[in-house]
Amino acid sequence: MNIDSIKNGVVIDHITAGRAMELYRLLGLDGVGVPVAIITNALSSKKGKKDIIKIDADIPVDLDVIGFVDPGATVNMIKDGAVVEKKKMKLPQILKNVLKCKNPRCITTTEQELPHVFRLTDADHKTYRCIYCETKAK
């Protein structure tokens, strides 16, 4: 299967197979109004299978969300048909408004305008905790 190359935009590559739709949802790509291609289970020499997301427009993407969903992914910025920047993702130290605190006693449940902020507390187990109440994200 071939998907045309893009002239200007973003390619999120080396996504773990099966994770592209979660990334698509968390990045809000359904509402951007530009062409987005999702390739699932593409052959990969390194991983066996991988997913790829191609965004055919130069729009900002939240690198923290990508790093949270798949720290092994790469983000390629495309200009005039060539890769001008390649970023390797890693787990972000802070996540803001990506997860919601599930603790009913957390201040974020009563103070609606407060951002939901989580801090990475254990990188080996990908554990994030709410900065307000220390509840572990699930």
Where are the domains positioned within the chain? Answer: 9-88, 94-130
Q: What is the largest CA-CA distance in the chain?
A: 51
What is the distance of C-alpha 38 from the center of its chain? 14
| Separation of alpha carbons 53 and 13, rounded Å | 7
Residue 45 is predicted with a pLDDT of: 83
Give the global pTM.
0.86
Q: What is the pLDDT of residues 116-138, one digit of tens each?
A: 999 999 999 999 999 999 999 97
Q: What's the rounded Cα separation, in Å, for the pair 15 and 7?
A: 21
Q: Per-residue pLDDT tens for 43-77? A: 888 879 999 999 999 999 999 999 999 999 999 99
Q: What is the pLDDT of residues 21-46, one digit of tens each?
A: 999 999 999 888 999 999 999 988 88
Token reading at 115: 């951002």
* 42, 50 Cβ separation under 8 angstroms: yes
Instruction: Tell me what the pLDDT averaged over the chain comes to.
Output: 92
Instruction: Kindly write down the DSSP assignment for every residue of 76-136, as one continuous string.
Output: EEEETTEEEEEEE----SEEESSS----TTSHHHH-TTS--EEEEEETTTTEEEETTT-PB
What is the fold of 9-88?
Alpha-Beta Plaits (3.30.70)
Does the pLDDT value for residue 2 go beyond 70? Answer: no
